[in-house]
Structure 1
Amino acid sequence: MTTHRTLGVLAVAGVAALVLAGCVAKRDVAATGALAVTSTDSACEVSDSSATSGTLSFDVSNRGDQISEFYLLAEDGLRIVGEAENIAPGASRTLTVVAQPGEYFTLCKPGMVGEGVGKAGFSVAGDRVEATGDDAEQNQQAVDLYAAFVKDQVEQLLPAVETFVTAYESGDDDAAKTQFPNVRAYYERIEPIAESLGDLDPRIDFREVDAVADGLDWTGFHRIEKDLWVPAEDALNADGASAWQDWAPSTPQERAAFGDQLIADVQELYDYVHSADFQTALESQGAAGLSNGAIALLDEVATGKISGEEDWWSGSDLWDFAANVEGSKMAFSLVQPFAESKGDEGGALVEQIDSGYADLEAALAVHGSLADGFVDYNELTDADKRELTDLINALAEPLSQLTVTVLG
């Protein structure tokens, strides 16, 4: 949800259990032996499915017809440990990371769009290793991992929006309804990025009441949402006004215009996150930006999702809720090592935040998941909403101290 505020750029990626890529001496890399990766337009073949903890080197060769990327993903399949990008056909790139023991996934993304191909499990055994390198190195690696995460989410968002719009414009409302909350999850994990780009987020994600208040044309996800879940004649908007005041279901021509506009706006977001301006903006904020991103996404939950005002007609607020929490938690996990390095006070704060996320996730899981779907928001009882609100508040308090701790 977009409200009247300015958010810092969100930063998410990595996990606390992973040592940031590149924070090791180059001489240590050769000792591990390189893993060969072959990327084609339909496959991603890695020479081995396991390795010993420490510095891992992946030599990636693109034998396909499209520019490709290679990812090492954390166990949840979402968080990016390392990425080699912009590998032209016939070219090779080397990705070097330091990985702790655990389970991972490898994945290639020909064309730099969609979910990728050849996703396979990858195991790391052995002892934990410690990183070397100064704060500047680690800060840069954190920025780079976040940039990779954002690109990945937008690369999945764009084709998902195109498929969703095709269903909407063709009148296949059942298919569009099914896709709506899942498509939005990609956007909700990185929403503050669009919010930093002037009127882009309002075009993509403004609710009707926000557009009216700001005197803007109402477009984007929520304009389409109302077409898909046509309100009853006596229904009210979130602001208490008649749902039919100054609104009517879109004609086929209007649907085409709204759908094409959403694709164009997401394409603009795609172009931005693949630009030098995006990288420069991230680097200018560093670890403090990552911390503020964790706080900003939890604010998204507290100011809209928990009240049920975001997806007013579809009742799919819990999907947005969960995606915001995922993004917030990943932002926190990336700056967690910075906080822990501040001594006992930082360590205690990390433990408190960790516990807060665990409690909130457990309560949310009672109502479903992003993978399997959630209940309609209207099915939550007042007690359910109070519990979630209390847990958000309990997490928000220590999380609000994170930036000061990281900078201290």
Structure 2
Amino acid sequence: MKTRILAPAAALAAAALLLTGCTDNNASADGTIRVNSTSDACEVSTTSAPGGTLNFSVTNGSDKVTEFYLLADDGLRIVGEVENVGPGLSRDLVVIAPEGNYFTACKPGMVGDGIRAAFAVTAAPAGQSVNADRAALQETAVNLYSAYVKDQTQQLVEGTTEFATAFAAGDVKKAKELYPAVRMHWERIEPVAESFGDLDPILDAREADLEKGDDFTGWHRAEKDLWAPKGYTAMTQAQRQKIADKMVANTAELHSRTQELTYTADKLSNGAKELLDEVATGKVTGEEEAFSHTDLWDFQANVDGARIAYEDLKPLLTENDSELDQALETNFATLQGLLDQYKKGDGFVLYTELTEAQIQELSAAVDALSEPLSKLTAAVVK
């Protein structure tokens, strides 16, 4: 999950000139846009590019893990992102972006609003088009995924309402039973939910990610009250009701916004990779569910979402790169087989019941899947 709400576009416009270390050079001969993220600058080799497929090559020149984003002109919606880029490493971001105004942003240390600059996408080159057959396959893929998101958000609304009722009433047993199962609907579509930079922090921020002055609300606030740590003072009924009401209202808003979203093939494939990054940086470390230790439910849901996106894109991938398709199919199956070992009834064992060796085995399987998954976008947008 993202740790900070993104600043409004008005603030971005003023901040861009002050914060960016952007250089206005050209893209590489092959069209690649070079990005160098340092501790205090986000150097992008060009401030504009023609519409269509954009290829960013992101290098981390600092001693901190960094992230890179292409944001829409409101500064909130995430068009594409690369997370967890370690010091000295490089990662690629491939997105399809139509003509319009955007922002690039590097986030050294993965905290704060990032170092941003305006980025313009101009008209696509004359004559650029997508093969009609592939266009039909892409349309089918995005329609299938759109239906999936709508279904998951609808179930999230229903589940959140049920959970909030139990939580506000002090029905701890029922609320604990509902908590991990309902959250799976959020986790399956996490990149979509996170694209709404105002809703994600108030629904899914972890206490450890908050900065001074931030309100602690949403799922993890309820989690702490249900699985109270030593020395914790329980919320009053009025306080629980306030948290519950906000969760229901904000989840309904999320559902409303997702009904009008449009998708492209690159958003599906990049979203699948983002879900694996979520597993690697939060779930497999046990940091996401710090009080309930229900991380394996989240783990499974992230894998579910990534697999759905991959399967929707499979006809495109099979046509372009059958070898990559086979690698993804094999690695998804291997990771799922490991997760199945920890199923218990309708859910999973608590994360604290896993041994260090078992955690390392899961982590290695995530890494093995993440590598070929990082190549999916380039294969399906050809």
Q: TM-score band (shorter)?
A: 0.5 to 0.7
- Deviation of 1:407 after TM superposition, in Å, equals 2.4
Letter of the structure 1 residue corresponding to residue 162 of structure 2? T
Q: Are 2:115 and 1:137 equivalent residues in the alignment?
A: no
Whether the 8 Å CA contact 1:340–1:347 is kept in 2: the answer is yes
Rounded Cα–Cα distance in structure 1 between residues aligned with 2:283 and 2:297: 9
Whether the 8 Å CA contact 1:8–1:296 is kept in 2: the answer is no
Counterpart of 1:353 in 2: which secondary structure?
Answer: helix
Q: Are 2:198 and 1:199 equivalent residues in the alignment?
A: yes
Counterpart of 1:304 in 2: which secondary structure?
Answer: helix
Percent identity (aligned): 44
Residue correspondence of structure 1 range 309-328 to structure 2 within 5 A = 309-328=287-306
Rounded Cα–Cα distance in structure 2 between residues aligned with 1:3 and 1:208: 10
Runs of 4+ deviating beyond 4 Å? 3-10
- Deviation of 1:139 after TM superposition, in Å, equals 1.4
Determine which of 342, 347, 362 is the counterpart of 1:373.
Answer: 347
Letter of the structure 1 residue corresponding to residue 187 of structure 2? E
Q: Give 2:362's aligned residue.
A: 388
Letter of the structure 2 residue corresponding to residue 149 of structure 1? Y
Letter of the structure 1 residue corresponding to residue 250 of structure 2? D
Q: Give 2:278's aligned residue.
A: 300
Q: Give 1:179's aligned residue.
A: 178
Q: Gaps spanning 5+ residues in structure 2: where?
A: 5-66, 70-77, 82-130
Letter of the structure 2 residue corresponding to residue 2 of structure 1? K
If asked which structure has higher relative contact order (CA below 8 Å, sep 6+), I would say 1
Counterpart of 1:231 in 2: which secondary structure?
Answer: coil
Residue correspondence of structure 1 range 5-404 to structure 2 within 5 A = 6=69, 8=79, 134-212=133-211, 215-233=213-231, 248-275=233-260, 278-279=261-262, 282=263, 286-342=264-320, 346-368=321-343, 372-404=346-378
Whether the 8 Å CA contact 1:8–1:192 is kept in 2: the answer is no
Counterpart of 1:307 in 2: which secondary structure?
Answer: coil
Whether the 8 Å CA contact 2:266–2:377 is kept in 1: the answer is yes
TM-score by length of 2: 0.66
Q: Give 2:2's aligned residue.
A: 2
- Deviation of 1:198 after TM superposition, in Å, equals 1.6
- Deviation of 1:274 after TM superposition, in Å, equals 1.9
Letter of the structure 1 residue corresponding to residue 292 of structure 2? S
Counterpart of 1:255 in 2: which secondary structure?
Answer: helix
The Cα offsets for residues 89-146 of structure 1, whole Å up to 9 and x where unpaired, read as: xxxxxxxxxxxxxxxxxxxxxxxxxxxxxxxxxxxxxxxxxxx961222212222111
Rounded Cα–Cα distance in structure 1 between residues aligned with 2:159 and 2:226: 17
Whether the 8 Å CA contact 2:268–2:309 is kept in 1: the answer is yes
Counterpart of 2:202 in 1: which secondary structure?
Answer: helix
Counterpart of 1:269 in 2: which secondary structure?
Answer: helix
- Paired residues in the alignment total 262
- Deviation of 1:156 after TM superposition, in Å, equals 1.0
Rounded Cα–Cα distance in structure 1 between residues aligned with 2:225 and 2:185: 21
Rounded Cα–Cα distance in structure 2 between residues aligned with 1:179 and 1:222: 14
Whether the 8 Å CA contact 1:291–1:331 is kept in 2: the answer is yes
Rounded Cα–Cα distance in structure 1 between residues aligned with 2:242 and 2:337: 41
Whether the 8 Å CA contact 2:180–2:298 is kept in 1: the answer is yes
Whether the 8 Å CA contact 1:294–1:329 is kept in 2: the answer is yes
Counterpart of 1:218 in 2: which secondary structure?
Answer: coil
- Deviation of 1:339 after TM superposition, in Å, equals 1.6
The Cα offsets for residues 260-299 of structure 1, whole Å up to 9 and x where unpaired, read as: 0000110001111223xx13xx2xxx21111111101111
Rounded Cα–Cα distance in structure 1 between residues aligned with 2:317 and 2:136: 16
Rounded Cα–Cα distance in structure 2 between residues aligned with 1:379 and 1:325: 20
Q: Give 2:34's aligned residue.
A: none
Evaluate the alpha carbon distance shift between residue 8 and residue 363 of structure 1 in structure 2; reply closer, same or farther with a 3 A threshold: farther
Q: Gaps spanning 5+ residues in structure 1: where?
A: 11-131, 234-243
Whether the 8 Å CA contact 2:138–2:316 is kept in 1: the answer is no
Letter of the structure 1 residue corresponding to residue 210 of structure 2? A
Letter of the structure 1 residue corresponding to residue 221 of structure 2? R
Whether the 8 Å CA contact 1:335–1:406 is kept in 2: the answer is yes
Rounded Cα–Cα distance in structure 2 between residues aligned with 1:220 and 1:395: 31
- Deviation of 1:3 after TM superposition, in Å, equals 4.2
Rounded Cα–Cα distance in structure 2 between residues aligned with 1:142 and 1:406: 11
Rounded Cα–Cα distance in structure 1 between residues aligned with 2:300 and 2:152: 15
Counterpart of 2:210 in 1: which secondary structure?
Answer: helix
Whether the 8 Å CA contact 1:8–1:293 is kept in 2: the answer is no
- Deviation of 1:224 after TM superposition, in Å, equals 0.3
Evaluate the alpha carbon distance shift between residue 358 and residue 8 of structure 1 in structure 2; reply closer, same or farther with a 3 A threshold: farther
RMSD value, Cα: 1.9
The Cα offsets for residues 170-226 of structure 1, whole Å up to 9 and x where unpaired, read as: 01101100110001011111111121112201111000011236x421110000000
- Deviation of 1:8 after TM superposition, in Å, equals 4.8
Whether the 8 Å CA contact 1:349–1:398 is kept in 2: the answer is yes
Evaluate the alpha carbon distance shift between residue 250 and residue 212 of structure 1 in structure 2; reply closer, same or farther with a 3 A threshold: farther
